[in-house]
Amino acid sequence: MKLSHSFYGVVLLFAALLLVVTQIEGFKGNIGIIIIVLSSVAVIAICIIERQKYFAVLPIPFAVLYITILQEPLNLPKIDPWFLCIASVLVSGSLFLFFKQYQQNALNYTIRTVSSSNDNNPTVNVNFGGVNWHLNADNLKTVKLRCTYGVLNVFFNKTESSPNGIVVEVDLEYGGIWLNVPRHWRIINMIGSCVCIDRNFAATPENAPRLTLTGRVLYGGVNVLYV
pLDDT at 89: 76
15-45 residue pLDDT tens: 666 556 556 655 555 555 666 666 666 666 6
**Segments making up each domain of the chain, as ranges:** 5-106, 111-226
pTM greater than 0.75: no
Q: What is the mean pLDDT of the chain?
A: 75
142-174 residue pLDDT tens: 999 998 888 889 999 888 888 889 999 999 888
The model's confidence at residue 55, banded by pLDDT at 50, 70 and 90, is low
178-222 residue pLDDT tens: 999 988 888 888 988 788 887 666 556 777 888 999 998 887 889
Contacts of residue 66, Cβ cutoff 8 Å, sequence gap at least 6? 76, 79, 84
Q: What are the angstrom distances between the C-alpha of 65 and each of 51, 59, 60, 76, 88?
A: 20, 10, 9, 12, 12
pLDDT at 1: 41
pLDDT at 3 > cutoff 60: no
pLDDT at 198: 78
